[in-house]
Structure 1
Amino acid sequence: MKLYFLAKNCERIRNMYCPFCGKQIPDDSSFCPECGNDIRDSWEKQPYPPEIPQQPQKKTGAAKIILIVILILLVIAAGVIAAIIFLKPSPADKAETKTKSESVKSDKEDKSDKSAKDEAKAPADEEEDEEEKYDPTEGGIHRYEFIIADVTWSQAFADCKSRGGYLVRINSEEEYQYILKQLDAGSYQKIQFFIGGRRDSGSSEYYWADEDDELYGDQINTSSYWCSSEWLSGEPSFRDGANEEEYLDLLYYKNEGRWTWNDAPNDILAVVPSFSGRIGYICEYED
């Protein structure tokens, strides 16, 4: 009795699984409630739950990484393409850049032409300046000779030239002070000395006279010239009664205790004969 019971139980246990899908099913089933297969002829063929092959796991992690990398590369490529499209200069921009470049080039050429013209013009300007201004070496300290003789201004001018110099032209305060020291050292206070300045007849402007007796340089009798404070009071007067005074001389004015500038006639002795022996002139030498 016990053996029969065990056999029946074993048979029941053996037939508790679907031979197709391996699911446990009721003992009296004709069809598998899970997979729907007819299992009536298969009870004896599948005493134990069948081994259902395991489906291989999909490797989703690596696929996701690859997909992400591809997406990133696509985004980068799209950005590069967009940058090329938007940053590429349009024909209008190219034309504007070309115009600016040509404008800059034109400006440089204009400046270059102007510079060349200025350089070409410079020598001519320098020549004009040389004609208008006196020798730049004048105004320095040179050698001076003090000559006492009863002569006219014209004779004094010619004599200095014949000696290899010229009738003194005092172009600076420094030069003037140097000459005054020599005058004081020689005790020449009683002599009035012709110097190399004069004016044209009918003019009121005094200038220095060059070696050819041509007037040049800056006007001497102006408030801006360096010797404006050296004139004798009321001078230049241009005339003394009927006598024209067109030439310059230096004289010591005792009332003021200093050497002063004065205008005088060409022939002082013809106007004031008593000045005989008291006329002189200063020759300047640049050797």
Structure 2
Amino acid sequence: MFCNKCGQEIKPGAKFCTKCGTPVPQVQQPAPEQPAKPKKAQPAPKQSVTPEQEPPKKNKKPVFVILVIILVILLFVCGGLVGYYITQIRGNDDTVVSDDNDKDKDTESLSRESGKKSKKDSETEEATEAVSKKGAHATVDGTEESEVKETNKEHTYQIVVADVTWTQAYQQAKEVPNGHLATFETQEEMDKVIQQINAEGHNDMIFWIGMTRRGDSTDYQWVDENGKSEGKMENSNSNWLQGEPSFYDTDNSKDEYYVDMFYSSSNSRWVWNDVPDDLLALIPSYSGKVGYIVEIEE
């Protein structure tokens, strides 16, 4: 520290300058800070403790009323059942007396009804037997069953000469009203067609008929106008040419899926043979001698 007047250095704690005697201003030292006293924690306000409220007492009066109502209902139901039982007993007594009086009348009536039923049953059996013999799908009262084809329905046939494949013949036969490629469900139907072929002078031709097999199957069946196979398997039918069906043409390496019919002079009869779809492609000399038979539902 130095004197403000003469610049003489002043020792610490001196009150006057040793050179010029000028009083030295005293600097008050700041009082040391006192550490802050920790505040006392204020006690939490006491909560007033109220006594727990007691749960309200249940009113037992509604339960008692409900029990009384149920008891009254039960008494009413029991009374009704007892009354009904007494009425039934009285009614049964009356019925017994009535049955004794009418016993003879009922016996006579039952005898008459039995006779009527026996007569009706006999008529029903006769009608059923007649329907079975005719082969028609009909009910006993004579009404036809819808959606069932009648086996005794009449058919007519149309002989068509055309150089077509089996597939083409099948489609063209469907274009004839009520027609489809011929299917012979009985030998009589085939014989009828043969008579018509001979009468029209086509006994030297080859005709497609509505028989085929599907995929890898070896079962030959008739095919209806919707392309659905129907009837039993015909592989063992006696109309096949000897050695047929063969299922495969080894000479031309062709699968055989379709059936035609022709007159075999060596067998002196009309026979069936399985061949590929396009017969003319294999044997062009058959041109002009191929055709098909349309069956028309009357």
Q: TM-score, normalised by structure 1?
A: 0.50
Structure richer in helix, relative to its length: 1
Q: TM-score, normalised by structure 2?
A: 0.48
